[in-house]
Amino acid sequence: MTKTLAFVLYPGITPLDLVGPLQVLSALAQIDPTFEVAVVGQNLVPLGTDTPLKLVPSHTFDQVTEPFALIVPGGTEPTLAALANEPLLSWIRKAAQTADVVGSVCTGSLILGAAGLLDGRQATTHWGFRDLLAKFGATPTAERWVESGPLLTAAGVSAGIDMALHLVERLAGEQTARTVQLFIEYDPQPPLGGIDWSSADLDSFKLHARAMLASALADHPALLARLTT
């Protein structure tokens, strides 16, 4: 039976959160046809992102009800607004009941939290929002990706590629994962070297994050209070 690897699409995501791991798992599906990928949304209309690019789901929520895996991308203020998107949360809750893998990239893990799926789990997200994970009962973990039972969460944006390669290894073995890595030529060599994490001004970013929360959840005071008090 074909195993569906479903990526969740909603308005305002960061495209690389979705497209990075989508490319990795699409390569897996090309190598092993027992897997297929789908991009699911509430309906089949183009959705804006936090770039000029628009994305269109390949399937609706009604068409993909029991995926083998589901992965939720993140973003900035639109993702925070999605914490109150009940049709989105409802599909995630239902799909997670039978999925072998429930994953996220960046702030997509906060959506998993809003769906009630993080309680008692270790999880990660973008460094600037990591503290919010505890509001959903998770243990925040500063790792590139974190595996906790069926839950697989990645840190910010590009970390989704690393997480997806780990998932390929888990599903199809090390050699297939290495083949996919070679196929997509994933060999990071940033021109400025690795990130100097001591330079991250978390206190200043938290002020920015709280302002985004206040704007995104202005019509949902109870949820806003839960995340800011």
pLDDT in tens, 79-123: 999 999 999 999 999 999 999 999 999 999 999 999 999 999 999
Q: Which of 94-103, 174-183, 202-211 has the lowest mean pLDDT?
A: 202-211
Q: Given the residues 28, 80, 102, 106, select the one marked as catalytic.
A: 106
Distances from the Cα of 42 to the Cαs of 35, 73, 77, 117, 147, in angstroms?
Answer: 23, 15, 19, 20, 28
pLDDT band at 182; cut points 50, 70, 90? very high
The pLDDT of residue 72: 98
The pLDDT of residue 162: 98
Average confidence (pLDDT) over 50-59 = 98
The pLDDT of residue 224: 97
- In single-letter form, the type of residue at position 50 comes to D
Please give the Cα distance from 19 to 24 (Å, whole number): 9
Token pair, residue 111, equals 């959506």
Residue 106: active-site member: yes
pLDDT band at 149; cut points 50, 70, 90? very high
pLDDT at 209 over 90: yes
CA distance from start to end of the chain: 47
pTM: 0.96
Q: Is the Cβ–Cβ distance between 28 and 168 less than 8 Å? A: yes
The pLDDT of residue 1: 86
Identify which of 42, 94, 34 has the alpha carbon closest to the alpha carbon of residue 70: 94
Structural domain boundaries in the chain? 3-228
Which CATH number is associated with domain 3-228? Answer: 3.40.50.880
Average confidence (pLDDT) over 167-195 = 97
| pLDDT tens, position by position, 153-168 | 999 999 999 999 999 9
